[in-house]
């Protein structure tokens, strides 16, 4: 009898809970964009990243760069079906809001990635990133992405803190034309001049570098850029 009373009480509580008013969800931009964190920089209950193997971080990237990428997905210049589905019906003003939301956040910490690459290959990557290859018309990455490789306002992204596989995939997308940018597409031109072993060297060296103490994008960079770049025009 006692057991039957307990069960009855439990059933009554469950019934009451099922009829309780649903919890109100705030209609804010931050709440709507929580869905983005299921891929971009998701963390577990302890704050540890659990989805860093491929997807890039968004926090702290220049707003102009994020806006350009959202436009590129919407226009088909970048190919990733889920992203296209998410943004294809969104107006420019809302894309700017999304970009500004993530740009306003502090860049997330990111540990350097162990690559297991040969020292000679990492050195080749370092040379290309810091010095380029003038004889072949390959500018140094730092000439556009900033001396600290953390990007430049308003529209040049940082290169540190990105997963190596993601960087390799983007070079591959530029090579086969599934990633494009506003013309002239400077990264497509650079990628065409790099060998696959050099792409791997660059991505491996970048992934092995720790983020600087201040990972925010630089406020500016020397102009003109080594190559004309439609995504970062001389007169923004």
Residue 60 near residue 152, CB atoms below 8 Å: no
Angle at 198 between CA 192 and CA 199, to 5 degrees: 65
Output DSSP code: residue 229: -
Instruction: Encode pLDDT of 72-96 as tens digits.
Output: 999 999 999 999 999 999 999 999 9
Report the pLDDT averaged over residues 35-49.
72
CATH architecture of 29-207: Orthogonal Bundle (1.10)
Please count the residues of the chain: 236
What tokens were used for 183? 């013309």
Residue ranges of domains in the chain: 29-207
pLDDT confidence bin for 6, thresholds 50/70/90 = very low
Structure tokens at 108: 């997330």
Position 24 confidence tier, pLDDT thresholds 50, 70, 90: confident
Name the β-bridge partners of 101.
Answer: none
pLDDT on residue 25: 77
pLDDT tens for 140-156 read 999 999 999 999 999 99
84-111 mean pLDDT: 92
Compute how many other C-beta atoms are within 10 angstroms of the C-beta atom of residue 72. Answer: 20
> In the chain, pLDDT over 90 holds for what percent of residues?
69
What contacts 77, CB < 8 A, 6 or more positions away? 71, 179, 180, 181
């Amino acid at each position: 009898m006692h057991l039957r009373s307990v069960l009855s009480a439990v059933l009554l509580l469950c019934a009451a809970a099922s009829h309780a008013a649903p919890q109100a969800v705030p209609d804010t931009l931050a709440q709507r964009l929580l869905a983005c964190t299921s891929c971009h920089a998701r963390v577990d209950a302890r704050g540890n990243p659990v989805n860093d193997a491929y997807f890039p971080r968004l926090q702290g990237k220049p707003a102009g760069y994020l806006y350009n990428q959202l436009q590129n997905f919407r226009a088909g210049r970048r190919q990733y079906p889920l992203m296209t589905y998410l943004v294809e019906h969104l107006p420019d003003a809302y894309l700017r809001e999304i970009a500004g939301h993530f740009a306003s956040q502090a860049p997330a910490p990111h540990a350097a990635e162990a690559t297991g690459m040969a020292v000679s290959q990492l050195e080749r990557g370092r040379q290309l990133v810091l010095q380029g290859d003038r004889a072949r018309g390959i500018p140094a990455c730092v000439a556009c992405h900033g001396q600290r490789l953390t990007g430049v306002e308003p529209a040049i992204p940082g290169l540190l803190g990105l997963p190596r596989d993601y960087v390799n995939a983007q070079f591959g997308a530029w090579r086969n034309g599934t990633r494009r940018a506003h013309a002239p597409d400077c990264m497509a031109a650079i990628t065409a001049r790099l060998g696959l072993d050099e792409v791997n060297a660059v991505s491996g060296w970048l992934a092995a570098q720790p983020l600087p103490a201040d990972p925010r994008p630089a406020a500016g960079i020397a102009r003109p850029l080594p190559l004309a770049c439609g995504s970062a025009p001389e007169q923004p």
